[in-house]
């Protein structure tokens, strides 16, 4: 059976994203002045979960490019052994797509993040790979490294048509 879903992004807020992880945004944190008053430090922006055992924190850089519009959603992924944080390194908006169950379209949620907001997907949260609008979009990633396969993917059925829009889809 063919299934269609058009997702329109809603603003990313700490409250709306709470079931999926943390929004990394300095607006909700009181900074601490450091370095003889020349810098401010914003602590505890997210919980880095590397799981039990031999997991360790991995810090990496991703460079992403835009997908054709409207964005065709074909797969979702999750990380069973640890959280995964995405922190933009430039002030450019981007999209965050999450769901509770990749095969239940009613659980999908699309958020519009500002270039000053990052997200930390909690362990086992289904999400889409990076969705950006600009070429050469750079992100700092904090996630788990260690033994075990920490990425699970679910490809949507071929007859499904799921599309993501930053704003209202054409014709609506």
- Residue 131 covered by a domain: yes
The pLDDT of residue 1 is 65
**171 part of a folded domain:** no
pLDDT number for residue 168: 53
Query: Does 111 map to a domain?
Result: yes
- Note the pLDDT tens digit of each residue in 23-68: 998 888 889 998 988 888 888 888 888 887 788 999 999 999 999 9
Q: Which helix (H) or strand (E) holds 15?
A: helix 14-17
Domain of residue 100: give its range.
Answer: 3-165
- Reported as a pLDDT band with limits 50, 70 and 90, residue 16 is very high
Listed in sequence order, the residues at least 6 apart from 58 whose beta carbon sits closer than 8 Å to its beta carbon are: 141, 142, 143, 144, 145
Record the pTM.
0.88
Cis amide linkage into residue 165, ω under 30° from 0: no
Residue 152 lies inside a defined structural domain of this protein: yes
The pLDDT value given to residue 2: 72
Out of 39-48, 96-105, 145-154, least confident range:
39-48
- Report if residue 147 sits inside a domain: yes
The three-point CA angle 89-28-47 to 5° equals 70
Output the CA angle 28-31-34, nearest 5 degrees. Answer: 165
149 pLDDT more than 60: yes
Q: Is residue 42, in this structure, part of any structural domain at all?
A: yes
Cα 93 to chain center, whole Å? 12
pLDDT at 47: 85
Question: Rounded CA gap, 93 and 77, in Å?
Answer: 22
CATH number reported for the structural domain that contains residue 71 in this entry: 2.60.120.480
Average pLDDT score, the chain: 91
Q: Is residue 172 part of a domain?
A: no
Mean pLDDT of 68-76: 94
Beta bridge partners of 67: none
36 within domain boundaries: yes
Q: How many domains does the chain have?
A: 1
């Amino acid at each position: 059976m063919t299934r269609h879903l058009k997702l329109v992004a809603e603003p990313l807020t700490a409250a709306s994203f709470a079931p999926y992880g943390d929004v990394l945004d300095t607006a909700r944190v009181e900074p601490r002045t450091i370095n003889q008053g020349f810098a401010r430090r914003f602590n505890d922006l997210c919980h880095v979960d590397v799981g039990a055992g031999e997991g360790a924190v991995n810090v990496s850089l991703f460079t992403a490019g835009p997908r054709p519009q409207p964005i065709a959603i074909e797969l979702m992924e999750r990380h069973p052994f640890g959280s995964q944080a995405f922190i933009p390194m430039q002030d450019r908006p981007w999209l965050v797509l999450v769901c509770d169950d990749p095969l239940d379209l009613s659980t999908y949620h699309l958020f519009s993040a500002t270039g000053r907001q990052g997200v930390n997907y909690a362990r086992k949260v289904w999400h889409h790979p990076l969705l950006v609008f600009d070429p050469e979009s750079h992100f700092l990633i904090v996630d788990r490294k260690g033994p075990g396969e920490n990425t699970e993917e679910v490809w949507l059925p071929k007859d499904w048509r799921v599309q993501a829009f930053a704003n209202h889809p054409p014709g609506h």
